[in-house]
Amino acid sequence: MAVDLQALYPKLIHLMLDTVFVVDQDNQIVFVSDACESLLGYLPNELIGTLITNYMHPDDLAATRDSIDRVMDGKPHIDFRNRYVRKDGGSVHILWSARWYEEEGVRIGVARDVTSLTKAEEELHYLAHHDPLTKLTNRALFYDRLVSGLNRAHRYQGSLALLFLDINNFKDINDAHGHAVGDRILCAVARRLEGCVRATDTVARMGGDEFTVLLTDIQSVDTVNEKVEQIRMAMEQPLGTEFGAVEMPSCSIGVACYPDDGRDADTLLSRADSHMYQIKRRSR
């Protein structure tokens, strides 16, 4: 028996896990497959006759309109991502494949929910650029920000400062109280450093018990000295009662400024590191 494919096509479309949208040149939805309920929380009859732009996430609206213009100009867009707002108010990340059909006067788009994939990509990106223990910027991202800051300072004849901080006798804490307590102290140091800087500055854990702070757009050496003193005072505050008898360790802070102490990232890191060890030796 011959199969009537023409009659079968609509059933096949409604079986698809991805959602099929058919939209006219005025962005009005003229057809949507049943998968829209899973994607956006709406039944097809709730969407048909409404503008598809009503459901686009406002932060992605401009980029989405650019994609629509591209498709309407006869250039298919098969890898466009944006967010839509669901009926329940939540947002969904969508991967689109869309094409304009001039003869029929409609734009057909196939929408795939990539929310889980997007969140996984964001998590991997975060892990690649942050220290897993303290959640601070890691060495690689800090270096990139230092280079960017130096380029900006050079272009606008500005200045910046690099602080290199090391916790004194941290090994003794690990030996006496265990690495779990040592890890909690590292996190306490991280939070205190974050509390001492502006949103435009960067705090990073370089590894072990070493931290760096990038201060951008500094006004004078006095500003840097005041910041070092603020950090020193923050580190001298006692630990909370949850640490029991464990005392907050002291720290040594080295400083290097652009352009006086160096004009490239490696030189500044080396100078700040050397200065920190000078201070550490003097404290002993």
209 catalytic residue (yes or no): yes
**Residues 111 and 186 placed together within one structural domain of the fold:** no
Bond into 10 cis (ω within 30) = no
CA distance 11 to 7: 8
Of the given ranges (23-37, 102-116, 123-137, 244-258), which has the lowest mean pLDDT? 244-258
List, edge to edge, every strand of the sheet that includes 19-24. Answer: 29-32, 19-24, 106-113, 91-101, 77-85
Any domain includes 124: no
**Residues 79 and 195 placed together within one structural domain of the fold:** no
**Residues 112 and 253 placed together within one structural domain of the fold:** no
**Residues 110 and 134 placed together within one structural domain of the fold:** no
Supply the CATH number for residue 242's domain.
3.30.70.270
Q: How many domains does the chain have?
A: 2
pLDDT at 240: 84
pLDDT at 235: 92
Q: What is the mean pLDDT of residues 213-236?
A: 92
Any domain includes 84: yes
Domain that holds residue 265: 130-283
pLDDT at 197: 95
Tens-place pLDDT, residues 73-121 = 999 999 999 999 999 999 999 999 999 999 999 999 999 999 999 999 9
Any domain includes 180: yes
State the average pLDDT for the chain: 93
Any domain includes 137: yes
Q: Predicted confidence band at 13 (pLDDT cuts at 50, 70, 90)?
A: confident
**Residues 24 and 97 placed together within one structural domain of the fold:** yes
Tens-place pLDDT, residues 256-272 = 999 999 999 999 999 99
- CA distances 232 to 56, 58, 196, 214, 254, Å, are 49, 44, 10, 16, 12
Last-in-domain residue among 68, 93, 119:
119
Last-in-domain residue among 119, 139, 166:
119
Both tokens of 211, joined, read 């931290």
**Residues 135 and 61 placed together within one structural domain of the fold:** no
Q: Confirm if 223 and 216 have CB atoms less than 8 A apart.
A: no
pLDDT at 281: 84
**Residues 104 and 144 placed together within one structural domain of the fold:** no
pTM for the full predicted model: 0.78
Check whether 176 has a pLDDT greater than 90: no
Task: Choose, from 60, 131, 209, 273, the residue flagged as catalytic.
Answer: 209
Check whether 141 has a pLDDT greater than 90: yes
Supply the CATH number for residue 76's domain.
3.30.450.20
**Residues 114 and 141 placed together within one structural domain of the fold:** no
**Residues 30 and 90 placed together within one structural domain of the fold:** yes
Any domain includes 125: no
